[in-house]
Structure 1
Amino acid sequence: MFTKAVLMAICGLAVAGMGPAVAQDSFPNKPIKIIVPAAAGGPTDTMGRVLAKFMGEQTGVPVIVENKAGAAGSIGVQAVVQSPPDGYTIVLAAIDAITVYPLVKKDSPYTWKDLTPITVVASTPFVFGVSADLPAKDVNEFIALAKSRKLAFSSPGVGASGHVVLEMFKFRTGADLLHVPYSGAGPALLSIIGGDTHITATSPVTLKGHIASGKMKALVVTSEKRLSGLPDVPTMEESGVSDFVVTPWFGMFAPAGTPDAVADKLHEMVVRAMRSPEYISKIGGLGMDVEPLSRRDYVQMLTAESDRWGQIINAAHISSDD
């Protein structure tokens, strides 16, 4: 016969064993923090704050945004990598910080596999922009021009996705281009307008203002289909450059080791928030698409993209100590 003390001990062990399952079933039951590895007021911050608002409304649990900018977004990502895998600290980051940075950075402190992918929250293709005065009306004329004389391309910095995609363009087309890195997309665009460089890869919404002012023109988009906002700009496929669909994205991640039940709940919360009219309107205003992925599909995409980007980065000998 069991004594009272033994029975209490057995019950205590049983309750302790149920702890993680109970915690997962009741998730979330305390505030969630979304780390945004970018400055307040930018596109990533805007996404994070709208998503946080609607995620909080779903559950009655506060969802707060904390900005941790710096080092190409890696500071914020690393903070989440080092957080407890309980779903209460997550990160909303761009492809540059998640996929590209670990491939470019020497001795990177993390890879995307140190995170639990939740879903893509927004995406937008690149547009290749040139000065309005450049004697090339399409991408094929630009390639011919780049083969006839030395041209340069600008990027927001060494190892940025805008850098890597133009290295990919060089390999695929044989265009001879010198890389000139700048500190951000703004200076990279101004270098085109000023005639210091000749082509850059940027987002449609960033380029549209310069097109409207007559200072720049768009040669090609890296999307699968033409963009409604730039209907006269052909895709790479239409221009004769195959297998060149490149769509930078923003995604939500939790730390590696986050229980599936918690990650699934986060996925449900984020996708529901993405369906809010306010979020769709905000993202549309930024020229981005809203197409969430399942967690499984996101892992498959990250695996394929890492292989693709890694091949280009290695072939172009891109590396950074920053």
Structure 2
Amino acid sequence: MRLRNLRNVIALTMLLGGTVVATAPACRGDDAWPVHTVKIIVPFAAGSANDVSARFYADGLAKRWGKPVVVENRPGADAVVGGGAFANARDDHTLLYGTASMLTVNPLLQDSLPYDPSRDMVPIASTASSILVIAVQDRLPVRSLQELMQLARSKPGELSWSSGPSLPHFVYAAMLVRHALEQVYVPYRDATAQQADFGEGRVQILSHALLAVRAPVAAGKARILAVTSPARQPSLPDVPTVAEAGFAEMEIEGLAGLFGWRDMPPALRDRISADVQAVAADPIVRSRIEASGAQVLGSTPVEFSAAIERQRARIEQINRLVNLKSAAK
């Protein structure tokens, strides 16, 4: 009888132990992760600048992890669709390649989001920053932002401008309000038509990503007056920053990075961050991402979170000048 009871105790102990193992999180933050394919959700269209960067990082991470890393595009509604898909996945092998604006801008544009910006997206590492520029059509007789503002002040309502969505639009619109300048905004649904009109002078000013103005600049039909990034860009060494040009309030980064799921173990977050930084340091990866019109970053979770907070503060300043909901229409 005593032997039978001992066997029962052992069996019960093994059963409870198995239950604990079965219900423990699959992800402990140690070298066991990843145990299978990792998916990276990109809330932008295939072929976009962020998609291109995400795929380079996915390839580099796959090599380091020894497991496939696949990219899934979920574009729509200023990245809200992809953000919601990531938050609802609740999967410890799904990451998000998103932008800081998903946390800083979208909450001001929409009353309800399918994700909680403060909990559902854990910053892991910054990856790249789209280079944002202020460019003018070549026939406009200005060589600096100061000269552009002087010309705009002398010709109220005569100059026309257009922009990329979100950050490039809000930054320029706020500048016009801050300096009491009147310019005509020309909206576009088709980026190709926008670039063609800018190159031909039908739109005189463009606040956009570098990639959008490269062709007309290369053709001698436009020139870049300033970049909105905190420092000059290696690919544009002669172009001043907006701060150097006297418009520090226009400084902002098109910040992108990798995010983890809610309640991601800090140890795993830090390990993935280190791997992202290693990929970012690869000269081949750097050259390819820079060719797409972006600056390669790579940071710790703390640094990435701090950069997001800096952008949030700037966006809140802009929102006090220009109601983002109205400006986005």
- Identity among equivalent positions (%) equals 28
Indicate yes or no: 2:159 matched with 1:155: no
Equivalent in the alignment of 2:213: 207
Match of 2:8 in 1: 5
Counterpart AA for 1:63: V
Cα deviation per residue 1:92-146 (whole Å; 9 max; x = unaligned)?
Answer: 1234444323322242333532211111111133210111111222111111122
Using a 3 Å threshold, how does the CA distance of structure 1 residues 128 and 47 change in structure 2: closer, same or farther? same
Does residue 224 of structure 1 match 2:224?
no
User: Which amino acid is 2:66 matched to?
Assistant: G
Match of 1:109 in 2: 114
| 1:266–1:47 CA distance, 2 compared to 1 (3 A) | same
8 Å Cα contact 1:156-1:188 kept in structure 2: no
Quick one: which of 251, 254, 270 aligns to 2:276? Answer: 270
Q: Which moved more, 1:289-298 or 1:2-11?
A: 2-11
Aligned counterpart for 2:170 among listed residues 164, 169, 174: 164
CA distance in 2, matches of 1:271, 1:196: 43
Structure 1 counterpart of 2:126: 120
Match of 2:96 in 1: 91
Q: 3-state DSSP class of the match of 2:63?
A: helix
After superposition, residues 1-322 of structure 1 pair within 5 angstroms as: 3-14=6-17, 16-17=19-20, 20=24, 23-24=27-28, 25=30, 26-86=32-92, 88-113=93-118, 114-148=120-154, 149-150=156-157, 151-157=159-165, 160-183=166-189, 185-319=191-325
**1:17 shift after superposition:** 4.0
Q: Give the gaps of 5 or more residues in structure 2.
A: none
Contact 2:61/2:69 (CA < 8 Å) preserved in 1?
Answer: yes
- The answer to whether the 8 A contact 1:173-1:241 is kept is no
Query: Matches of 1:99 and 1:184 in 2, distance apart?
Result: 26
Structure 1, residues 205-235: CA drift from partner, whole Å, max 9, x if none?
A: 4323211212111112222333333333222
Q: CA deviation at 1:89?
A: 0.9
Structure 1: runs of 5 or more not aligned: none
How many Å separate the matches in 2 of 1:110 and 1:195? 41
What is the rounded CA distance, in whole Å, between the counterparts of 1:106 and 1:96 in structure 2?
Answer: 15
Q: How many equivalent pairs are there?
A: 319
Whichever residue aligns with residue 42 of structure 1, its letter is S
Partners of 1:126 and 1:204 within 8 A in 2: yes
Normalised TM-score (structure 2) = 0.86
- Would the alpha carbon gap of residues 165 and 187 (structure 1) be closer, same or farther in structure 2, given more than 3 Å must change? farther
Distance 1:228 1:41 in 2: 24
Whichever of the two has the greater Rg, that structure is: 2
CA apart distance, 1:202: 1.8
User: Closer, same or farther in 2 for the Cα pair 1:48/1:248, shift >3 Å?
Assistant: same
Structure 1 stretch displaced more, 17-26 or 140-149: 17-26
